[in-house]
């Protein structure tokens, strides 16, 4: 089993696989140094709470039961049979530093369990990445960091998905990601970290300005992973967003909950 000292998930909301049409040098660098696909599949319905919930809890929406409305008004139960990656990590590492920086506040309030000691911050993307950089420098011994940048989805709703205006905002998310990567590099944390770059859904399939359908434009997402035990330039097939949770817990050397549906993508780790 391949293990690492920490895991970082960097999520761009609503970016689908439209990154193929944008200038994203930081994302490209992650892809080139590890494994990636532009044909991963997200959960249905292709809505933020349902999809981020699947990424974090390892099961599809019919099981975790999350919706945008529910995440805005209810805390996710600490005793759910579908624990988040944070709860699994907390039970294994009682004193570990776990952090979630989400521009969309319902992720912190309603998708990640409230009582497991996760450091949570919510603010606009540009402020968020500066706070993340500060956190990395002040807490280089953190175990898990989850990031959700919201601007690509906001731009999709405003200008249309995979339209030039959204692509420019996706490029802004890449620059924001560069702030995080630079902080990891300056703290000397890159070589023993697993870094996952992912989005929750696309959009524009059935409605230019929306998402939620099973149209390929809504359903198809980018997914990349780099770190110990992953061969540079690996191309992946048959990846789903639920697999993310399984990859995270495997990389930390822990047992994956039996209730989870995600798998380890074939060929991701060199030992597979």
Mean pLDDT by 10 residues, the chain (272 residues): 84 98 98 98 98 98 98 96 98 98 98 97 98 98 98 98 98 98 98 97 98 98 96 96 98 97 93 45
| Residue 243 · residue 269 · CB < 8 Å | no
Beta strands at 6-12 and 35-41: parallel, antiparallel or unpaired: unpaired
First to last CA, the chain: 9
pTM for the whole thing? 0.97
Could you tell me which CATH class the domain 6-251 is placed in?
A: alpha beta
Closest to 133 in 3D by CA, of 173, 103, 169, 101? 101
What pLDDT does residue 270 have? 80
Which residue shows structure tokens 């300056």? 186
| Residue 115 · residue 76 · CB < 8 Å | no
Report, in angstroms and rounded to the nearest whole number, the Rg of the chain calculated over CA atoms: 17
Burial 103-132 (b: 16+ CB within 10 A, else e): bbbbbbbbbbbeebebebbbeebeebbeeb
What pLDDT does residue 1 have? 43
What pLDDT does residue 272 have? 40
What pLDDT does residue 64 have? 98
Closest to 22 in 3D by CA, of 208, 162, 125? 162
How many angstroms separate the Cα of 260 from the Cα of each of 22, 60, 245?
Answer: 34, 9, 8
Q: What are the residue ranges spanned by the domains of the chain?
A: 6-251
Q: Give CA torsion, residues 33, 30, 27, 268, to 10 deg.
A: 90
């Amino acid at each position: 089993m391949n293990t690492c000292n920490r895991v970082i998930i960097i999520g761009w909301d609503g970016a689908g696989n439209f990154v193929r049409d944008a200038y994203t040098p930081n994302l490209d660098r992650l892809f080139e140094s590890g494994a990636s696909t532009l044909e991963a599949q997200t959960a249905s319905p292709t809505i933020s709470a349902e999809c981020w919930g699947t990424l974090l809890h390892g099961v599809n929406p019919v099981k975790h039961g999350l919706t945008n409305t529910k995440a805005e008004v209810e805390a996710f139960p600490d005793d759910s049979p579908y624990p988040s990656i944070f709860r699994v990590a907390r039970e294994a590492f009682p004193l570990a530093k776990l952090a979630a920086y989400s521009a969309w506040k319902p992720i912190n309030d309603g998708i990640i369990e409230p009582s497991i000691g996760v450091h949570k911050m919510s603010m606009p993307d540009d402020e968020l990445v500066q706070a993340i950089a500060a956190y990395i420098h002040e807490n280089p011994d953190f175990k898990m960091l989850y990031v959700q940048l919201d601007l690509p989805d906001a731009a999709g709703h405003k200008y249309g998905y995979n339209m030039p205006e959204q692509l420019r905002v996706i490029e802004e998310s890449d620059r924001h990601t560069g702030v995080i990567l630079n902080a990891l590099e300056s703290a000397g944390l890159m070589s023993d970290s697993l870094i996952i770059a992912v989005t929750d859904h696309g959009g524009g399939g059935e409605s230019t300005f929306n998402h939620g359908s099973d149209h390929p434009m809504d359903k198809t997402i980018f997914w990349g992973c780099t770190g110990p035990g992953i061969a540079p330039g690996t191309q992946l097939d048959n990846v789903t967003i639920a697999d993310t949770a399984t990859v995270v817990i495997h990389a930390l050397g822990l047992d994956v909950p039996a209730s989870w549906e995600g798998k380890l993508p074939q060929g991701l780790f060199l030992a597979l």
